[in-house]
Amino acid sequence: MIGGSDCGVLLGFSKWKSPISLYYQALDLAVLPNKLNTELIHGKLQESNIAHSWQFYSENDDEFCQNVVNNIKPRRYKEIKAIIENPKYPLLFANIDGLITKHPTKKKKGILEIKKINGMTIDSYVGGIPPQYIAQVQHYMLVCELTYAELCMRVDGRMLNVHLIEQDKFLQEAILQAAAEFNARVVAAREAIKKEGTDDYDVMLQIASQFEPDADASEDFNAFISEKHRARETEVQMTGGLDEQHLAEQYVLSQAQIKQAESNKLLYGNRLKQIMEKEGASVMNLPDGKITWRKQFLVKLNKD
């Protein structure tokens, strides 16, 4: 079954995980990663605190402060400690942070999703919302048959960023289609492995590879496929054709372009730093952007 964070991966919205990881994990041919770390643990521990603060939220800072002081809660939620399934969507499940039971503008219940995020990450997305978060709440709305969600993000540990997200049936249809396609790959691979009647790991990998998701440009795909390759116990040689020759040529060309781009980036950055340093400036306002040079050198153009 596909969870809320998985659907963003299947739609290609995630920068951190590739569909290929989910595929081999579903086949029990890859170990589920244990990526617990102190940052993740602290984030989980803060979820209840963030959800509690969300209840007082107002776009007006003064009103928000008065709500806290006077214990006025325009919003309320109920924590759901359960996995939610819907027989209408047998491939999906939901694990929501909260069920909205009171909202200042909505009469019905909704989804509450809590995130801890940093400001630089928000600035890197159009509209300030990572697209995988939007896919996640649309997934939850679909499973729970609700029509809205609020995404509450604590930014840099000190301020709330709250977005009301309405139901998007087109995106929900894309989620259903992606889940169905993924499930079809998994079922086909399982049946092929079962038909072969083998428990040889290399053979099972070879069979599963015939149905695996296409390559993408994520670091996770590169890391996973490389680790999968290293795990093979036998070495095989093959002969490529014109398509593989073209891919190899594009790879070498991209390497050269990266080297040139890195050199250009360093040159242009050094020129800008020299200009700013001559003036003793830490901020440069541009006709259509801004450069800040404090602990980091950041160039932000308005067209970005």
CATH of the domain at 91: 3.90.320.10
**Residue 181 belongs to a domain:** no
pLDDT for 162:
92
Does residue 225 contact residue 24 with C-beta atoms inside 8 Å? Answer: no
Q: Do 58 and 157 fall into the same domain?
A: yes
* Residue % of the chain over a pLDDT of 70: 95
Range of the domain at 273: 244-301
Q: Do 17 and 128 fall into the same domain?
A: yes
58-93 per-position pLDDT tens digit? 999 999 999 999 999 999 999 998 999 999 999 999
Question: In which band, very low, low, confident or very high, does the pLDDT at 53 lie, cut at 50, 70 and 90?
Answer: very high
Among candidate residues 173, 205, 236, the one where a domain is terminated: 173
Instruction: Give the separation between CA 107 and CA 12, rounded to whole angstroms.
Output: 34
Instruction: Give the separation between CA 177 and CA 216, rounded to whole angstroms.
Output: 19
**Residue 184 belongs to a domain:** no
| Count of structural domains within the chain | 2
Instruction: Give the separation between CA 131 and CA 286, rounded to whole angstroms.
Output: 29
Question: In which band, very low, low, confident or very high, does the pLDDT at 42 lie, cut at 50, 70 and 90?
Answer: low
Q: Do 163 and 293 fall into the same domain?
A: no
Q: Virtual CA dihedral for 261, 240, 205, 186, nearest 10 degrees?
A: 80
pLDDT for 33:
60
DSSP H helices in the chain: 4-10, 19-26, 38-54, 61-69, 119-123, 131-144, 169-196, 201-209, 219-230, 242-279
Q: Do 14 and 98 fall into the same domain?
A: yes
Mean pLDDT of all residues belonging to the chain: 89
- Token pair of 181, please? 């396609």
Among candidate residues 115, 144, 173, the one where a domain is terminated: 173
pLDDT for 236:
79
pLDDT for 34:
58
Average pLDDT for 156-183: 93
Question: In which band, very low, low, confident or very high, does the pLDDT at 31 lie, cut at 50, 70 and 90?
Answer: low
**Residue 68 belongs to a domain:** yes
Q: Which residues partner with 149 through β-bridges?
A: 111, 165
Instruction: Give the separation between CA 110 and CA 164, rounded to whole angstroms.
Output: 10
**Residue 193 belongs to a domain:** no
Q: Do 165 and 252 fall into the same domain?
A: no
Query: Own/partner pairs for 155-160, CB < 8 Å, 24+ apart?
Result: 155/117, 155/118, 155/119, 155/122, 156/118, 156/119, 157/116, 160/50, 160/53, 160/54, 160/57
The gap between the terminal CA atoms of the chain, to the nearest Å, is 37
Q: Virtual CA dihedral for 135, 138, 142, 144, nearest 10 degrees?
A: 120
pLDDT for 123:
77
138-164 per-position pLDDT tens digit? 999 999 999 999 999 998 888 898 999
Question: In which band, very low, low, confident or very high, does the pLDDT at 15 lie, cut at 50, 70 and 90?
Answer: confident
* Residue 78 host element (H or E): strand 76-78
Give the closest residue to 101 by CA, choosing from 88, 92, 110.
110
